[in-house]
């Protein structure tokens, strides 16, 4: 048997909330472009604090942005994963999933300006239900267009015409599975 249970541990009403996908978005920009975006958003003082978590990792090291370490498989290998963690160390944050893990944390979310340029807005996170998160503080205004991901135009010509996928995984010239 399976049972789905909801236990209310905190409740707030009439708050500003954003989709969690906007918290996961990290732009792929150079350090100079990031600095310019923070300046455009009026958050230049926060640039140095957040730049290491936003810049792509050097030498394949994982960052909060891309999880590229360990072959792109988040949570695989390394100390603290599986049987390699030191005795007595917990596997994960005990507050994860309760909505308390990031409460009070300040972080940038990205919005699209009227000039079609993106800029960060630093917000302080509140409660979450796993889908949306409350914003306790920040310069986010009603009507701001949050960025939750990147969409590419399928009709736009691509510079890459070949693929590095192995046979049977689709792509140009691969032909799929044959009998």
Domain map (residue ranges) of the chain: 12-57+97-149
Confidence of residue 57 (pLDDT cuts 50, 70, 90): low
Which phi-psi region, left, alpha or beta, contains residue 70 (left: φ > 0; alpha: ψ -120 to 50)? left
Distance of alpha carbon 25 from alpha carbon 148, whole angstroms = 6
What Å distances lie between residue 1 and 4, 6, 120, CA to CA? Answer: 10, 17, 46
Question: Which residue did the predictor score with more confidence, 146 or 166?
Answer: 146
* CB 24 within 8 Å of CB 132: no
Instruction: Answer yes or no: is pLDDT of 10 > 50.
Output: yes
Bridge partners (DSSP) of residue 66 are none
SS3 label, residue 32: helix
Angle at which helix 31-40 crosses helix 47-54, to 10 degrees, equals 140
What pLDDT is recorded for position 4? 92
Distance of alpha carbon 52 from alpha carbon 41, whole angstroms = 18
Structure tokens belonging to residue 74: 């988040």
* CB 148 within 8 Å of CB 25: yes
Q: Give me the chain's average pLDDT, please.
A: 73
What pLDDT is recorded for position 143? 87
Distance of alpha carbon 170 from alpha carbon 168, whole angstroms = 6
């Amino acid at each position: 048997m399976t049972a789905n249970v909801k236990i209310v541990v905190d409740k707030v009403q009439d708050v500003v909330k954003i989709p969690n996908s906007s918290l996961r978005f990290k732009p792929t920009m150079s350090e100079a472009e990031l600095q310019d975006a923070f300046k455009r958003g009026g958050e230049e003082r926060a640039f140095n604090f957040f730049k290491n978590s936003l810049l792509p990792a050097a030498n394949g090291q994982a960052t909060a942005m891309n999880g590229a370490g360990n072959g792109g498989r988040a949570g695989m290998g390394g100390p603290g994963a599986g049987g390699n963690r030191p005795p007595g160390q917990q596997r994960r944050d005990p507050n994860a999933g309760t909505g308390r893990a990031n409460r009070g944390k300040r972080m940038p979310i990205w919005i699209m300006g009227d000039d079609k340029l993106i800029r960060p807005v630093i917000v302080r996170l509140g409660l979450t239900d796993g889908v949306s998160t409350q914003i306790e503080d920040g310069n986010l205004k009603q009507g701001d267009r949050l960025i939750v991901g990147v969409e590419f135009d399928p009709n736009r010509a691509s510079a890459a015409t070949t693929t590095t996928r192995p046979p049977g995984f689709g792509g140009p010239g691969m032909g799929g599975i044959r009998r």
